[in-house]
Amino acid sequence: MRIYTALVLTNVFSLTLGLALPVCTQIQRAVSSASAVYFPASGHYTEDLAHWVESSTQFSACSVEPGTAADLSIIIQLLGQTRTPFAIKGGGHTGNPGFSSTPGVQVAMTRFSGVQYNATSGTATIGSGLIWDDVYTALEPHGVVVGGGRVSGVGVAGLTLGGGYNWLANQVGLTIDTVVEYELVKPNGAIVSVTASSDPDLFFALKGGGNIFGVVTQFTFNTFPQGQVWGGVIFYGPAQVAAVTAAVASFANSVTDPKAAIIPGYTFQLGQTLAVNIMFYDGPSPPPGIFDQFLAIPHTSADISTRSFLSLVQSAPANVTAGTRGAFHAVSFLEYSPEILDAISNETTFWGTRLAFAGINVTYNVEPFLETIYTHNPSPTAFPFYRTPRTMPLLFEYLWTLPTSDLIAHTAMRQSAEHLTRVAVEAGQAVAQAPLYPNYALFGTPIERIYGSNLPRLRSIKARVDPDNVMGLVGGWKL
């Protein structure tokens, strides 16, 4: 059965490549010199296909780097007319295979790399091919920041279109809450500016709707004054896990300062569960008491200081694991109680021990937010499909090296999510159908868990914007 399935998949893959190659040549002839088409054996081709985790990369017929919105329009129209599978890649940080990769035509947004700050309007227009490190580097001389990625190596487009949790979330909301304009190439090739006034429905849909409605070439964000911040990463040994759990519970349930945030995690390494915490305060030093409990726990190493916002983000280089295989998944909670945190710690040990034979490393990252996180934007957005009560994500990340471990890891992640959801429900948390963050949810998650009650409206917008389902040729969440 496995051999038969492999042969079928190989034949489908080969057929897609064969059909896509002539379209690659058509695109090459149709676009201007601002764009480029690359074929296998080219260094650019390899870079265009590469993802943060190797398991999200596919071998494509060619890669295309559009250099202008007009060229991208031509490309999208050709792909739609020929019904050629394609993928849109921004930063390439997805853990879901096929969401931004394809055996057809890989469109890499690399050349959309501008950052333009407008001091008069207090906005920044940012290309969709950038990672957040680039954005913070460009904005730092202006003394401003936008609400973007919290760790190094994350792409602008994927984070923003998927919903966007960020370090400033408790103060300004999700990343999507601060976007005021999208430059969008529609599935029919039309190049439009989408704002709350120009097309309210499409504006709503792009706020968490991913790649369903076209291809965004640039985002315009509101900016915020930004000086020095305090924080960084601190690591703890196995003997301190219980103390860290107590500190996390205390922080999550008592700290109300919107400038303070943490991302604590449990990770299984070398046969034992360890703890790590990324701390952030939006100011040069936190008030006494907020982080004291964490700092008082004996730790194995720490990189905590007053620093620039860029330095803080780069102190947590999530891209250091680039080149492994991996995936994300998530559970939503209403409260991070001591009991829930103990269950997460135990889950880390359970799956870390159980999956060691397959070379799978497991990490569970806790993300507590204030009750007010979803109140900064009064307008509805595609994600989350409800804002009261607020839900908080638990991100779990599994990494491994062998393709033979793919199914093992994905199955374990689904089982872990089901178990932790049951634990929460039994503890009185109504989260069985709570929103799951699109950028964390593992492929195969029911679309109802992503967009819930927003689905009818999103489907209506999709039918208007993309009646020929051109974006159905792309991977990702589908309506």
Question: Stretch 318-346: mean pLDDT, rounded?
Answer: 93
15 has a pLDDT exceeding 90: no
How far is the CA of 246 from the CAs of 298, 300, 330, 340, in angstroms? 14, 18, 22, 11
Tell me which CATH code domain 2-108 carries: 3.30.465.10
318 has a pLDDT exceeding 80: no
Provide the CB-side half-sphere exposure for 303 (13 A, CA). Answer: 12
CATH architecture of 229-307+323-445: 3-Layer(aba) Sandwich (3.40)
Inter-residue contact 223 to 117 (CB < 8 Å): yes
319 has a pLDDT exceeding 90: no
Query: Fold match between 2-108 and 115-226+452-473?
Result: yes
Q: Per the structure block, which two tokens stand in for 351? A: 């799956």
pLDDT tens digits, 234-274: 999 999 999 999 999 999 999 999 999 999 999 999 999 99
| Long-range Cβ contacts of 133-140 (<8 Å, 24+ apart) | 133/310, 133/313, 133/314, 136/309, 136/310, 136/313, 137/310, 139/115, 139/223, 139/226, 140/226, 140/308, 140/309, 140/310
Q: pTM (2 decimals)?
A: 0.93
User: Sorting pLDDT into bands at 50, 70 and 90, what band is 16?
Assistant: low
CB atoms within 10 A of CB 73: 20
User: Sorting pLDDT into bands at 50, 70 and 90, what band is 42?
Assistant: confident
- What average pLDDT does the structure give for the chain? 94
Fold classification of 115-226+452-473 is: 3.30.465
287 has a pLDDT exceeding 60: yes
User: Sorting pLDDT into bands at 50, 70 and 90, what band is 55?
Assistant: very high
pLDDT tens digits, 125-151: 999 999 999 999 999 999 999 999 998
| pLDDT at position 17 | 65
Domain boundaries, the chain: 2-108, 115-226+452-473, 229-307+323-445
d(CA 447, CA 131): 27
305 has a pLDDT exceeding 50: yes
| pLDDT at position 323 | 84
**Which distant-in-sequence residues (6+ apart) come within 8 Å of 9 by Cβ?**
none
DSSP of 136-184: HHHHGGGTEE-S--SSTT-BHHHHHHH----TTHHHH--GGGGEEEEEE
- Lowest model confidence (mean pLDDT) among 139-153, 197-211, 317-331: 317-331
Q: Which helix (H) or strand (E) holds 45?
A: helix 43-49
d(CA 356, CA 401): 12
349 has a pLDDT exceeding 70: yes
Inter-residue contact 51 to 318 (CB < 8 Å): no
